[in-house]
């Protein structure tokens, strides 16, 4: 499994496990582009994907979020929303970018054109937060690291910015969407996992490893082996991706 192969390399580079404290806050920018200029590049579900992820985080009272859909999701609007939203994050908070739409080798396609991973990383790097992550439901999203030189540069950049990337597919795969479903395959299992499906030990903290295992296995099964999510970057298996408040005991 790709995750296990990468994990061997990452063991010498991992940050110390940094489970977010109870007061940790999530800072989310959720982006979905289904309606691109013209009609030939239009998709079906990305705007709904962005709404779904934003709605899940909104159920967690300790969240600050910004959602951009379709024509709102220009390159400058996305980067500006990231810089503004993430600026308030503390060292032990959680910073998240969710993107659903077209992808290309080296980045994502905003409403008005390409947005490189370097630009995204720079917008994230300004935050002092230690728990940074990107969820990308984009065709060929794995192409961020297809070329060996580009892969090395992107991996080094991810380590420097301390960013976890969770990409919906390998470099030679499309990210599948079915018009009869509410969300794309990747977002379907991502949202289920974040809601609690991935919380294997039921401690109300969903870690990177728990989320990867849940989403990867679900997408591979649903797609009959045609789509394989990948996760890489510099992070601990125990890095929190969602922390739900403890349930109050009934008296």
Q: For 66-110, what is each residue's pLDDT tens digit? A: 999 999 999 999 999 999 999 999 999 999 999 999 988 788 999
What's residue 204's pLDDT?
93
pLDDT at 104: 84
* pLDDT tens per residue, range 119-157: 998 899 889 998 899 999 987 555 555 444 544 555 555
pLDDT, one tens digit per residue, over 194-232 is 999 999 999 999 999 999 999 999 999 999 999 999 998
Predicted TM-score of the model (pTM): 0.84
Reference 95, options 155, 163, 47; nearest CA is: 163
- Confidence label for 32 from pLDDT (cuts 50, 70 and 90): very high
Query: What's the confidence (pLDDT) of residue 174?
Result: 80
Q: Mind giving me the DSSP string for 68-94?
A: EEGGG--HHHHHHHHHHHHTT--TTSE
- Angstrom distance (rounded) from CA 235 to CA 242: 15
pLDDT for position 111: 98
Token pair, residue 203, equals 């401690």
Q: Return the pLDDT at 182.
A: 93
- Classify burial at 195, counting beta carbons within 10 Å of its beta carbon; exposed 0-12, middle 13-18, buried 19 or more: middle
pLDDT in tens, 2-31: 444 344 333 323 333 344 555 679 999 999
CA distance linking residue 64 with residue 209, whole number of Å: 24
pLDDT of the residue at 126 = 82
Alpha helices (H) along the chain: 2-10, 46-58, 75-86, 117-125, 148-161, 185-192, 208-222
Q: Which distant-in-sequence residues (6+ apart) come within 8 Å of 238 by Cβ?
A: 17, 18, 19, 207, 208, 209
Q: Are strands 163-167 and 131-138 parallel, antiparallel or unpaired?
A: parallel
Percentage of the residues of the chain whose pLDDT score is greater than 90: 58
Domains, the chain, in order of start with CATH, read 25-243 (3.40.50.1460)
Residue 248 to residues 24, 60, 71, 97, 118: CA-CA distances in angstroms? Answer: 18, 15, 42, 30, 43
Q: CA 192, 53, 159, 129: dihedral to nearest 10 degrees?
A: -110
Per-residue CA distances from 208 to 76, 83, 108 (Å): 29, 23, 22
| pLDDT of the residue at 18 | 43
Is residue 138 a contact partner of residue 108, using CB atoms and an 8 Å limit? yes
């Amino acid at each position: 499994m790709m995750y296990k192969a990468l994990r061997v390399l990452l063991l010498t580079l991992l940050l110390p496990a940094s489970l977010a404290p109870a007061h940790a806050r999530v800072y989310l920018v959720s982006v979905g582009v289904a309606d691109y200029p013209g009609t030939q590049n239009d998709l079906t579900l990305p705007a709904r994907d962005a709404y779904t992820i934003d709605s899940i985080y909104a159920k967690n009272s300790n969240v600050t979020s910004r959602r951009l859909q379709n024509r709102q999701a220009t390159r400058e609007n996305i980067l500006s929303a990231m810089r503004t939203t993430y600026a308030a994050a503390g060292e032990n908070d959680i910073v998240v970018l969710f993107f659903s739409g077209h992808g290309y080798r080296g980045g994502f396609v905003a409403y008005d054109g390409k947005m490189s991973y370097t630009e995204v990383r720079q917008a994230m790097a300004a935050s002092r937060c230690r728990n940074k992550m990107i969820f990308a439901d984009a065709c060929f999203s794995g192409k961020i690291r297809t070329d060996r030189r580009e892969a090395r540069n992107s991996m080094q950049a991810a380590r420097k910015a301390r960013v976890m990337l969770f990409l919906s597919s390998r470099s030679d795969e499309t990210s599948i969407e079915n018009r009869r479903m509410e969300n794309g395959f990747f977002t379907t299992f991502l949202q289920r996992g974040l809601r609690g499906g991935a919380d294997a030990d039921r401690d109300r903290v969903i870690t990177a490893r728990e989320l990867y295992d849940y989403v990867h296995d679900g997408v591979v099964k649903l797609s009959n082996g045609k789509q394989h999510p990948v996760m890489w970057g510099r992070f601990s298996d125990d890095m929190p991706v969602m922390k739900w408040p403890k349930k109050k005991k009934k008296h």
